[in-house]
Structure 1
Amino acid sequence: MPTPPPRSATLPRPSLTERRKAATQLEIARTAAALFAERGTAVTADDIARASGVALRTFYRYFRTKEDAVAPLLADGVRQWIDELGAAPAGPDAPPVRETLERTARRSLTPADEPAAEALNWTRGLLRVMPDDPALRAVWHRVHHDSEEALMPVLARLTGAGPLEARLAAAAANTAMRVAVEEWAAGGGAPDGPQGPAALVTRCLRILAAGLLPRDGADSHEE
């Protein structure tokens, strides 16, 4: 039986208007993250709008609150990871799922260029001010909840797992990503060092995957 195409490959390409909107939202998110990292919770929606070069009314057309403005930045790296996983081959001739998870997670947390490095540093700054801002923490956890939901069908396809196993695997993989970034942000190591997010997510996945990911090709419905 042929392997079904990746979920992401079946989705229609966003329209030009949608792509422009997403680009504007991401640019505002980068500005918001930089301001939060620099000034903490004193940042206002008006500050973000002015620094982004948009009217306050335009800001509120895109985001409900000032904290919501950082969500596109926080979600961007995870979305790239899920998209790459969604394009990975499945089946008996495919690489082991654990290897695919590690490789794609490391790549998503390894800055490929200067803008990506800046985005990662802004994320670190956001995580450091989050203890003082419950609304920012709520955005961070919402982003990861959404990521977990998106991971479930991807891991179900790659592993052949049933709904329960796929949900548990998605929760484990997503938690490994979140904990790695949080630990790096708290410790402040170099992004590409042994305590950087890419190295930490590899450690986290290896700890979790052995017990929580089903064996490739295993019958996930055994009693």
Structure 2
Amino acid sequence: MERSTPVRPGPAAAPSPAPPSLTARRKAATQLEIARAAAVLFAEHGADQVTAETIAASAGVSLRTFYRYFRTKEDAVAPLLAGGADAWQQALAATTGDPIAAIPAVIEAQLTPVTELDHEGLRWTRGLLRAAVDDPALLTVWHRVNHDSEARLRAIIAELVDEDADPFEVRLTATAATDAVRVGLEAWAAGDGPDTGPGSAADLAVRAFAQLSRGITLVPS
């Protein structure tokens, strides 16, 4: 009797990440509520005039809860700043082709407000960045968020290009994109430019990327 050849199972598909638990979602919501309260207070009064107690009260949480999530009052705005970076990185990850060609449109789309909530977000961003000028701790948070964003962006760009792409060019692209957004937002926040159109944060960031990315080649012609 002929023996049958045993069937070997193929590699198991990677399991989908489990959705966050209800407890995790509640914690994230509380953290974001505290971050929004801190951003609004910093924008309206300046970081030096705001205390952790004030932020906690505005967010409707106890001071103990505040310190469960954040070490300092300045750290409280990090989730909002990082969330903006995450959104535009995800948008870039969904593109195809040369990232250098795709990045300006992604930047413009992400920094151009559409809803009233978007405009409100830009208003507190302007106030927050103005407050950071005179607050080294707040400025450190802003720089840390940008540093982390660049690292994540580098990995995204590496996935979008050919595996033979020069890693140095990939890094330059990530740096140029990150700094373009940072400089665009900072320059806009320092002045009285509009939310949209010439002189807006989106306009300045796209112009900055055009200058900073000049000479970088990711996709051979």
TM-score, with structure 1 as normaliser: 0.85
Identity of aligned residues (%): 53
> What corresponds to 1:28 in structure 2?
34
Alignment counterpart, residue 126 of structure 2, candidates 112, 124, 127: 124
Deviates more, 1:44-53 or 1:183-192: 183-192
Q: Deviation at 1:14? A: 4.5
> What corresponds to 1:3 in structure 2?
none
Residue 12 (1) aligns with residue 17 (2): yes
> What corresponds to 1:79 in structure 2?
86
Q: Deviation at 1:138? A: 0.2
Which ranges of structure 2 fall in alignment gaps of 5 or more residues?
Answer: 1-14
Q: Deviation at 1:13? A: 5.5
Q: 1:153 to 1:186 in 2, by over 3 A?
A: same
Distance in 1 of aligned mates of 2:215 and 2:19: 38
> What corresponds to 2:191 in structure 1?
187
Q: Deviation at 1:172? A: 1.1
Query: Quick check: 1:156–1:162 contact (8 Å CA) kept in 2?
Result: no
> What corresponds to 1:145 in structure 2?
147
> What corresponds to 2:11 in structure 1?
none
Letter in 1 for 2:40: A
CA RMSD of aligned residues (A): 1.8
Letter in 2 for 1:79: D
TM-score, with structure 2 as normaliser: 0.85
Q: 1:85 to 1:14 in 2, by over 3 A?
A: farther
Query: Quick check: 1:78–1:108 contact (8 Å CA) kept in 2?
Result: no
Which ranges of structure 1 fall in alignment gaps of 5 or more residues?
Answer: 1-9, 219-223
Letter in 2 for 1:216: V
> What corresponds to 1:88 in structure 2?
95
Q: 1:176 to 1:13 in 2, by over 3 A?
A: farther
Q: 1:126 to 1:13 in 2, by over 3 A?
A: farther
Deviations 1:107-137 (A, max 9, x none): 1111232222211111110111112210000
Letter in 1 for 2:140: A
Letter in 1 for 2:207: R
Give the structure with higher Rg (CA).
Answer: 2
